[in-house]
Amino acid sequence: MAPKRPKAAGVFPKPVESTAPNRPDPNALYAALDLGTNSCRMLIAQPKGSQFHVIDSFSKSVQLGQGLEKYGRLSRASMGRTVSALKVCRQKIERHGVTRMRLVATEACRRAKNAQEFIRQVRRETGLPLEIIQPEEEARLAVISCAPLVSTKTEQLLVVDIGGGSTELVWIDLSSVPRRDRPAAIMRLHAGFHPVDSPFPTAKVVDWISVPLGVATLRDQFSDVSDDAGRYALMSWFFEEQLSEFAPYADEQAREGFQIVGTSGTVTTVAASHLGLRRYDRTKVDGLRMSSDQIESVIRRYLELGPTGRRRDPRIGPDRQALIMSGSAILQALLRVWPTDRLSVADRGLREGLLYAQMSADGVLEDGPL
10 Å Cβ neighbour count for 176? 11
Task: Give the domain 136-351 fold.
Answer: Nucleotidyltransferase; domain 5 (3.30.420)
- Quick check: 136 pLDDT over 60? yes
10 Å Cβ neighbour count for 100? 21
Mean pLDDT of 285-307: 94
What is the Cα–Cα distance from 306 to 18, expressed in whole angstroms? 47
Question: Cα dist. 227→224, 231, 232, 239, 316 in Å?
Answer: 9, 6, 9, 18, 20
Mean pLDDT of 147-158: 91
Mean pLDDT of 48-53: 88
Q: Coil, strand, or helix at residue 46?
A: strand
- How would you label 121-150 residue by residue, b for 16+ Cβ within 10 Å and e otherwise? bbbebbbbebebbebebbbbbbbbbbbbbb
Q: What is the pLDDT at residue 210?
A: 93
Q: Which residues pair with 210 in a beta bridge?
A: 168
Banded pLDDT at 166 (limits 50, 70, 90)? very high
Q: What is the pLDDT at residue 18?
A: 63
Q: What DSSP letter does each residue of 211-276 carry, written as one string?
A: ES--HHHHHHHTTT---HHHHHHHHHHHHHHTTTTSGGGGPPPPSTTEEEEEESHHHHHHHHHHHT
Which one has a higher pLDDT value, 123 or 27? 123
What percent of the chain stands above pLDDT 90?
64
Banded pLDDT at 228 (limits 50, 70, 90)? very high
Mean pLDDT of 123-151: 92
Residue 268: Cβ-neighbour burial (10 angstroms; 0-12, 13-18, 19+): buried
Inter-residue long-range contacts of 302-309, CB under 8 Å, 24+ positions, other chains counted: 302/273, 302/328, 303/228, 303/229, 303/232, 306/228, 307/228
Mean pLDDT of 79-102: 96
Fold agreement (30-133, 136-351):
yes
Q: What is the pLDDT at residue 7?
A: 43
332 Rama sector, left if φ>0, alpha if ψ -120 to 50, beta otherwise: alpha
Give the CA radius of gyration of the chain.
Answer: 21
Q: Give the CATH number of domain 30-133; options: 3.40.50.410, 3.40.50.300, 3.30.420.40, 3.90.1300.10.
A: 3.30.420.40
51 Rama sector, left if φ>0, alpha if ψ -120 to 50, beta otherwise: beta
Mean pLDDT of 57-86: 94
Residue 275: Cβ-neighbour burial (10 angstroms; 0-12, 13-18, 19+): middle
Mean pLDDT of 249-269: 84
What is the Cα–Cα distance from 366 to 346, expressed in whole angstroms? 23
* Dihedral sign from CA coordinates of 10, 102, 264, 338: positive
Q: What angle is formed at CA 253 by the lines to CA 248 and CA 256, rounded to 5 degrees?
A: 140
- Quick check: 5 pLDDT over 50? no
Q: What is the pLDDT at residue 185?
A: 87
Banded pLDDT at 99 (limits 50, 70, 90)? confident
- Quick check: 20 pLDDT over 60? no
For the ranges 20-24, 209-213, 320-324, 335-339, which has the lowest average pLDDT?
20-24
For the ranges 28-32, 100-104, 313-317, 363-367, which has the lowest average pLDDT?
363-367
What is the Cα–Cα distance from 137 to 106, expressed in whole angstroms? 10
Q: Looking at this protein, which amino acid is placed at residue 11?
A: V
Banded pLDDT at 27 (limits 50, 70, 90)? confident
What is the Cα–Cα distance from 188 to 177, expressed in whole angstroms? 12
Q: What is the pLDDT at residue 161?
A: 94
- Quick check: 241 pLDDT over 60? yes
What is the Cα–Cα distance from 185 to 30, expressed in whole angstroms? 23
Q: What is the pLDDT at residue 247?
A: 81
Q: What is the pLDDT at residue 10?
A: 41
Q: What is the pLDDT at residue 272?
A: 93
Q: What is the pLDDT at residue 4?
A: 43
Helix and strand counts by DSSP (H, E) for the chain: 13, 11
Could you tell me the residue ranges of all domains in the chain?
Answer: 30-133, 136-351
Q: What is the pLDDT at residue 11?
A: 44
Average pLDDT across the chain, whole number:
88
363 Rama sector, left if φ>0, alpha if ψ -120 to 50, beta otherwise: left
Banded pLDDT at 261 (limits 50, 70, 90)? very high
Mean pLDDT of 58-86: 94
pTM to 2 decimals? Answer: 0.84
* Dihedral sign from CA coordinates of 52, 57, 60, 62: negative
Pairing of strands 156-162, 258-263: parallel
